[in-house]
Structure 1
Amino acid sequence: MKDWIAKLTIYTVLLCNLLFGTNNAIAEVLSDYVRPFNDLPGFENVVIAEHTDKEQEHRKEDFRRFREILKDTDKLEGLFTLYHNRDSGEIYWEIQPEQLNKNYLCTVTLESGVGESGIYSGLPLQDFLFYFQRVNYHLHFVVRNVKFRAQPGEPEGRSLARSFSDSVLYALEIASIDPYTKSILIKLDDLLMQDFPGLTSLLKYFLQADYHLEAKKSYFGDVNSFPFNLEIDSIYNFSSPEGAYLVTLPDSRALTLKVHYSFSQLPENNGYIPRVADDRVGYFITAFQDFSHNHDREPFVRYIHRWHLEPSDSSAPLSPPKKPIVFWIENAVPFEYRDAIREGVLMWNKAFEKAGFQNAIEVRQMPDDADWQPADVRYNTIRWFNSLDAGFARGPARVNPLTGEILDADIIVDANMVRSIQQEYRALMGTNSLFMDESFSQEGKNLCQAFGEKYKVDRNVSIPVPDSEFCYGVESSNQAAMGALVLSLLQNTTPSSDEMKKYVHQYLRSLIAHEVGHTLGLRHNFHGSTMLAPQELNNTEITHTKGLVGSVMDYLPVNLAPVGVEQGDYFPAIIGPYDEWAIVYGYKPHPHLTTEAIAPETEKPFLEEIALASPQPELSYATDEDIWNINPLANVWDMSNDVLLYSKWQMDNARMMWQQLEKHYPLKGESYSDLRVLFNRVLKYYFRNASLLTQYIGGQYFWRHHADSDTRPSFVPVSLEQQRQVLTTLQENVFAEDAFSFSAQLLNQLAPSRWQHWGNYIPVSRLDYPIHERILHFQSGILRSLLNSDRLHRLRDIEFKSLPGEALSMPELFDTLQKGIWTEVFGSSQSKPISSIRRSLQREHLNILLEMVLRTSDVPEDSRTLAWYELRQLRKAIDTSLKQQNDDLDIYTLAHLEETSDRITKALNAELHSK
């Protein structure tokens, strides 16, 4: 009863003070009356201060100013209170005293883009922890430094603030302060009507033009404040005097971008326990240095990213979660794709059942009349957007940077990912693609660099190795279009057939499953495609029970059955064993612990027991940093545990498609440019599979295991027998004289597109098909990959670490390649004409050896001496052939051989200079 009397009294005092002010005499009486209640919990500091008359007038004036600002405004109450002036359009943001110096999460999303060149709707821009700090008459917007921490109350914590700085992004002028409640008002324009997300630099990077924010043309859209989050749309207008080369805009000198901001409260005391990471299981992580434990060998603490799932019945082996993970399918997704998307999301419930959760994930459809936006931090959405040139999907998640708890996730899918499949098998995006013909453009590389941590290109193979979801999406679309082409050429499937609809359904379902895996915290697993033997890939009794792959987190090609084998699933129908095991590691609750006062380290023995299963072959794990041309089973766009056999099958498929192209394309009434695009696609597919074989040369199988769980060495070299087999296969399918044979009729039908307009770029190049340049482009890539510096260094090291006769030596590699490429001078006592395709390849091989000898390439010194030796042997063989020449040799061949001999002589006699 005493508490209620105290509350009533204090509220009455404060109300009087607010409405009428207090003079010193009244203040003294009220303070004396309130002071006895100060000992009650929650009322310790309720004392009315004494003020002079002058101070009291200032307080009244401040309060009048505060009320004047809020006059004629609409009040939006929630996590933060906003005031919107209906006449002026000004919006004020109120920050309560208890909201100062408190952590909040800011997430920024690009809600509308321009549809090309990297500026696409739905892209996440930023997410970080921030707090408000009052400094005199300014309010600082500060980004919290979460990289260094110490336990509360420990001495180490006192030095952290002095040692590592937070980032003060803005010092905002305070519009007014309520003198009684101490609430602070700032103008929302001061914070968000400037380039808060850094769009100016983003536009400069992507569009190569200087765009500037036009404040007078910019404004706020929807603004909503909810109990746990504040949602704001800012519409920014940018201008550039010269504009940029953008075909999607009516006038590129001006463009509009809509940005969505979510300012949300971090979960506190919700029972979430951070879970420590293990390098054998692939999760994204939150890492920080903990200065509280200087005695530890490892200075970093690493927590995996995961959702907060709690069983509703902790005693049951299988229980629904208290709060499931809910994904909403955006109402912009076409009707025909919604079922595939739903299935792709729900595929993961099988894994969560292994972790003890029933129906952990739910899928709901966003209503057409929904009163919320997909970027709202309260909703996890699967979004659909259109672009001219993107062709990618992404699955980012927003995470509490203090604990690793996933708070929100939004998957975005470009319509181009599936559109190309249904356009009568034309190549992805046709002639307006970033990836013109088979080359990977600079624009594409820039986009990959922006969307991923790094973009790795094996320059020797000349085939991009993607390291981001953007690049994954582009090649994934290429793979999907390739499968559709197989349906057309080898199975006579029409675009509207049930088989084609089934194919598109399988592809989109697998694509969504991959992206959902990212939103659950999982990283890529490029070992995931190697679970089954090649002969098992099309056996649905196996693939529908065990899985087509060990993990859908790999970059998976379309599974094309070899000629004569009944086709199975094109893409995985279920997630793999690794996916289930990884979810168990991340989400299975500890059976004997409650959430009260548990340190994450307490779970380590429980988690170690799960991770001990990692040596099982189907649980093998290799992620982005593991695929640097070393492990032939940790690769992108490969399939099966025998990539050598798989690649040979796919090259055979490509040959069959070339034959069918000549018979069946172009379709009646169609342009011959379609035939050219399809021919390019098959040629690229052929060489991509050939390039997979180069991983075996100097290759080493690599495992992420711990000493207690596995006795295998971390690195095991590929057997000498396999490496020799690969060299033979490459000779027969890439370097041999008869490796490529196309009819003149087919080559003379490869006409380019003649439509020249926006969105349909025609490169300034030859109109006829440059067959020599195309083939040499790929042959050179593979040859230079086999002889690149990294591989040669690795071969030398492997030979040193192996027993005699167990490793492929550099002399054997050099000699095998030379004799295979120059069979016309090494393989027979009878000289014969050398074809134009072979002459181009031989010149490229000669150039590589000369670069080594003349020190214009960085290779081991042993490689230089071997190149010198091989050149001498080659000159000797050429000179011998020329002496034995007969009338069958043409002038091309004679000139080629004589010039080659002359170049070798001059190079060997030249003075060697270092770089």
Structure 2
Amino acid sequence: MKVLNVCLVLLVTLLFACPVVAQQDAKPMTYEQFKEQKDLQTDKGFYTIYRLNDKYYLEIPAEGMGKEVLITTQVAHGMAAFVSDASGVIRFSEGRNNTLQVVRNRLTDVSADSTDVCMIMALKKSGLVPIDYTFPIVARGEDGKSAIIELTNELNNPGSGLFNVSSYAWLSHPDPSRSWVDGWRMIDKGVVFSVTRGQSDYQSNPQTQEGRDIASRYILEMVIQQLPERRMNLKVSHPAYGFETIGVTEYDSKEYVARKKEYIQKWNLTAAVKEMKKQKRGMVIEPERQICVYIDPVTPDPFVVCIKNAVNQWGKAFEAAGWKNVFRFSSDKEDASLSYRTILFRWGSAYNGIYSSVIENPVTGEILCARVNVMDVAADELLGMYFLQCGLLDGRIRKDLHSLAVRQDVLTAQVAAAFAEVLKMKPNKAGYTVFTPADIRSEKWLNRYGITASITSGVTFNYLAQPGDGVSVKNLFPRVSAYDYDAIRYAYGNSDALPSMRGAFYTPEDKLDPYAQDGFLSNDILNASIQGVESVKKIYPQLNGWINRLPEDQNTWKNVSDFAVRAQSLFQTYLTQMVKLVGGRSVRPIIKGVNETLVTYVPREQQVGALNYLESAIFSEFPEWVRVKELEQSGVFDTEQMMVGLAQALLKHFMNKGVMESLVAGERRLEEKAFTAKELFAYIDRVIFENFDSSKAVSTYKQGIQACFVSDFARFMAENNISFGLSNEANGVYHAYFVELARKVKDLSERHTDVSTRSNYQVMLLRMKREYFEKQ
């Protein structure tokens, strides 16, 4: 019996084991065997496609093995701007046990001296390239060398593989009964599959606790396309120009040292050798293959013009760099796929801005293709700001808040800014603070450069231009300018020169740098902000009259009150720009090939000037000019409380350890030329606390500012655990002032002669205890 049991166990084991071994060692069908299958459909191309009922097969030719292949997946139809994050570059190669291996492109160490074979081999043997997944080879091709694999699961399964879309919830679990493969079409050295996916998702209302199933349906396009073998010439990253980069570790085979180098990401513009020689002689040439800019046919005609005008601005920058006709426009369905050297402009699914997805080769840095989703809704969001900032100069917006011509101008600027992302250019936040106020008000200057040195950091309007300056409407909007031209020339031309305009270097956003912020205009922020405030004051009393002259559907009390509030918000924007000068500093690279930076501090006189203006504008007394009957009559807005809140927001700038560190460091370096922390606290004592005069009554408006400041300051001290004795010098400064402030508040809470003011100090003392002292 024991022998029988052992035999049975062995038999069962063999029965389970044999199929596995057979599967591993199974040889692919021959081409003849594969072709003999009934109902097999064949579509020959670089990648031949086979369909057998509901199964789909792809033939990888021998010349496609080991080569770079572009894989993309996008929502082609449906309310989504989704592009799969699995899109990228892969390689097919034959593996063990009759399998086809798939490897994604990854950065690897390289030899700086490619002639040293020993170094090259050493680098290759120093690591193994990971295999991402494998496909069983179903059959061999007609030549006996190509491999046929089944793609059915890849096309139907969203959770993994070549066309992974699991990161998008509305595609992650399709209903098989509502999902199918629509078909395919051939493209240059590739194929595009079209797949319909539908599913339902339960959504509940958190307030009512009721829910329902939401049905969705999308058509996906999946591209497999072999890339050209011609390599792109790498361009070393330079601190003067902001591009996204790839980092490469290069081993010097002569000195046997490793150096990390950054190369910029860019499109690959190539031409015949003879043409490239012409470019070196200063002639403008055309690329062998243009970049196709596909514009969705459903895009309304007025906005097709916007997209073309925006792209053509960049086309001129490329022409200045030595390349003409870089882009070609198309609305043909044959160009609608996310394939090599294609930029798709899709209309729709862009309600909160312009969205872009860019796919690049992580090894070479070459930008392969991109998609941009755009709608005129993005422009609509800025029309109200334009009405207030440029209404004095542009009568179109005063006649119609939704003026089509204005919307076109706004969207053109927005698309030009978004196109910088397609070029992998980083936002140059200092672009708007290069030109002087006089430049920005000069038609001659504006015709040549526009209002900013760079469009890459978004859209700001020309709020400095005034009636009488003779500035045309076209020069109220930003456009591709000097820095952008220089950056394109560096990346795609034959120039390694520094920016042509002094100060037009790349600068990332820096919260402590007033010259690297969104929305700031000109290199004289103080005077520009004052000009902005004065323009708001000029427009504010005219709002009711302007809106009365608008079309009937726009001539409403709600618009009057809404724009009054927007004007106050604009007032806050300009004051915020001023307060950023206090404790401000700039960090700029020293452009001499050395990895060093230069720190400069905002001059003392500008910081003092900003504080003096803030004192008269908001801190000392309520700005009476903001009172309008439309807000008062609405019963919704408490204008005085709104201004207290504005003052509170501005004063919070001084509760920033970075600001205090900047003031301390500036005093250490500049000595008597610096604006100091001591002067700032003296300003707060005088302007906010009336020098703690025990006999001077304080207005209710000022009392509100005092109470908010004390409460915020105490909370700031507690949250940042600031106490005396910490090594940070700024902490010591804050602690010393806070302790002295608490002493003075306690003193006046007991002996101030005005009852109302004394009561307010008592409230402040309670807040300091609750927010700080009781927490220590």
TM over 0.5, shorter chain: yes
Q: Is structure 2 residue 604 aligned with structure 1 residue 738?
A: no
TM-score (norm 2): 0.83
SS at match of 1:870: helix
1:326-725 to 2 correspondences below 5 Å: 326-357=292-323, 359-367=324-332, 370-377=333-340, 379-387=342-350, 390-418=351-379, 420=380, 428=381, 478=382, 480-486=383-389, 493=396, 500-561=403-464, 564-566=467-469, 567-568=471-472, 569-572=474-477, 575-589=480-494, 607=496, 610-611=497-498, 613=499, 616-623=501-508, 627-665=509-547, 672-707=557-592, 714-725=598-609
8 Å contact kept, 1:506–1:573: no
Out of 64, 89, 112, the residue aligned to residue 99 of structure 1 is 64
Q: Is structure 2 residue 697 aligned with structure 1 residue 832?
A: yes
SS at match of 1:237: strand
8 Å contact kept, 1:851–1:857: no
Q: 1:904 to 1:231 in 2, by over 3 A?
A: closer
- Deviation, 1:846, is 0.5
- Deviation, 1:496, is 6.7
- Deviation, 1:79, is 3.0
1:843-854 to 2 correspondences below 5 Å: 843-851=707-715, 854=718
Q: Residue 843 of structure 1 aligns to which amino acid in structure 2?
A: A
Q: Deviations over 1:168-207 (max 9, x none)?
A: 1x44344444597154333222123212455444328xxx
8 Å contact kept, 1:560–1:570: no
Identity %: 17
Distance 2:368 2:446 in 1: 34
Structure 1 residue ranges without an equivalent (≥5)? 1-57, 115-119, 205-209, 421-427, 429-477, 590-605, 752-767
- Deviation, 1:563, is 5.5
Distance 1:244 1:68 in 2: 56
Distance 1:414 1:843 in 2: 45
Q: Residue 39 of structure 2 aligns to which amino acid in structure 1?
A: D
TM-score (norm 1): 0.71
Q: Deviations over 1:202-234 (max 9, x none)?
A: 328xxxxx9633344222234122342222233
Q: Which residue does the alignment assign to 1:593?
A: none
Q: 1:905 to 1:831 in 2, by over 3 A?
A: farther
8 Å contact kept, 2:584–2:601: yes
Q: Which residue does the alignment assign to 1:264?
A: 225
Structure 2 residue ranges without an equivalent (≥5)? 1-25, 723-729
Distance 1:487 1:862 in 2: 43
Q: Deviations over 1:851-874 (max 9, x none)?
A: 355565457133112211233234
- Deviation, 1:63, is 5.2
Q: Which residue does the alignment assign to 2:764?
A: 900
8 Å contact kept, 1:112–1:121: no
SS at match of 1:634: coil
- Deviation, 1:833, is 4.7
Q: Which residue does the alignment assign to 1:285?
A: 245
Q: Deviations over 1:721-747 (max 9, x none)?
A: 111112222333343322365436322
Q: Deviations over 1:26-63 (max 9, x none)?
A: xxxxxxxxxxxxxxxxxxxxxxxxxxxxxxxx989755
Distance 1:353 1:684 in 2: 41
Distance 1:787 1:332 in 2: 51
8 Å contact kept, 1:200–1:213: no
Out of 764, 767, 782, the residue aligned to residue 650 of structure 2 is 782
Q: 1:66 to 1:855 in 2, by over 3 A?
A: closer
Distance 1:561 1:220 in 2: 56
SS at match of 2:168: helix
Q: Which residue does the alignment assign to 1:603?
A: none
Q: Which residue does the alignment assign to 2:178?
A: 217
Distance 1:201 1:132 in 2: 24
Q: Is structure 2 residue 74 aligned with structure 1 residue 129?
A: no
Distance 1:906 1:83 in 2: 75
Distance 1:330 1:245 in 2: 37
Distance 1:267 1:73 in 2: 31
Q: Is structure 2 residue 774 aligned with structure 1 residue 813?
A: no
Q: 1:319 to 1:156 in 2, by over 3 A?
A: closer
SS at match of 1:838: helix
Distance 2:493 2:593 in 1: 23
Q: 1:853 to 1:524 in 2, by over 3 A?
A: closer
Distance 1:240 1:340 in 2: 37
Q: 1:296 to 1:334 in 2, by over 3 A?
A: farther
Q: Residue 130 of structure 2 aligns to which amino acid in structure 1?
A: D
Q: Which residue does the alignment assign to 2:741?
A: 870
8 Å contact kept, 2:28–2:98: no
Distance 2:385 2:131 in 1: 49
Q: Which residue does the alignment assign to 1:842?
A: 706
Q: 1:60 to 1:906 in 2, by over 3 A?
A: closer
- Deviation, 1:641, is 1.0
- Deviation, 1:286, is 2.2
Q: Which residue does the alignment assign to 1:166?
A: 130
Q: Deviations over 1:411-459 (max 9, x none)?
A: 33123123x2xxxxxxx3xxxxxxxxxxxxxxxxxxxxxxxxxxxxxxx
Q: 1:871 to 1:290 in 2, by over 3 A?
A: same
- The root-mean-square deviation of aligned C-alpha atoms, in Å, is 3.7
Distance 2:247 2:358 in 1: 16
- Deviation, 1:540, is 1.5
Q: Residue 213 of structure 1 aligns to which amino acid in structure 2?
A: P
Q: Residue 169 of structure 2 aligns to which amino acid in structure 1?
A: L
8 Å contact kept, 1:327–1:361: no
Q: Residue 320 of structure 1 aligns to which amino acid in structure 2?
A: I
1:74-89 to 2 correspondences below 5 Å: 74-85=41-52, 88-89=53-54
